[in-house]
Chains A and B, each alone.
Chain A
Amino acid sequence: SQQGEEDPQALSIQEGENATMNCSYKTSINNLQWYRQNSGRGLVHLILIRSNEREKHSGRLRVTLDTSKKSSSLLITASRAADTASYFCATDAISLDSGYSTLTFGKGTMLLVSP
């Protein structure tokens, strides 16, 4: 079953506006990661936030993590048409079966940025 669930499923904004996507998860995690996927392409890693961190920035990206609420948000400031893509959160946790770390991805938020 999916660990992370993104909200909203789709988001349409104008260039220059900010875009906020949310992710909720169910179990304890080591870290939470955000990925971007352009149409027809593989996923690209954007940012990783560890379970003991509350906020992290990378360029126009800002990620927050609230482990008490088991939620994270991704903020893209001053959006551009090139930001149009699907965005996925992924939670890192240790597999109970193998003891190895794996990522569980949500279903994604489709972001459309119009010029």
Chain B
Amino acid sequence: DAGITQSPRYKITETGRQVTLMCHQTWSHSYMFWYRQDLGHGLRLIYYSAAADITDKGEVPDGYVVSRSKTENFPLTLESATRSQTSVYFCASSGGLAGNNEQFFGPGTRLTVL
């Protein structure tokens, strides 16, 4: 299917477990992003990638790891989940054209850490 997809859509895990959230896009967009959305904070950027093998920290990167070995995939790993990482996670992609960098969002993953 064309577009940007995230899996799983819902995940419940326990404190200390490792969790990987998947993101896949079919547009061959250069840029990909991970955000978390929490009440009272809006969307906050966790990590982003400008191209395969290029990743950079966003506003709230602590406790998260990303990789981008292929242009179309951008997985987000919580190495040792904590309750404060309970959130809704959104992946987005963008062509990154200068002056026209609108982002396309996935449907989100609702993560609960018990």
Contact = CB atoms under 8 A, between A and B. Distances in A.
Contacts of A105: 35, 42-44
Contacts of A97: 56-57
Contact of A95 (B33, B41, B56, B99): B56
Interface residues of A, number: 28
A101 B43 contact: no
Interface of B: 31, 33, 35, 40-45, 48, 50, 56-59, 90, 92, 96, 99-108
A50 B103 CA distance: 15
Interface of B is mostly: strand
Nearest to B42: A107
Given A2-B42, A98-B56, A103 B103 contact: yes
27 contacts: A30-B99, A31-B99, A31-B101, A33-B102, A41-B108, A42-B105, A42-B106, A42-B107, A43-B43, A43-B90, A43-B92, A43-B103, A45-B103, A48-B100, A88-B42, A92-B101, A97-B57, A100-B31, A100-B50, A100-B56, A102-B33, A103-B33, A103-B45, A103-B103, A106-B42, A107-B42, A108-B42
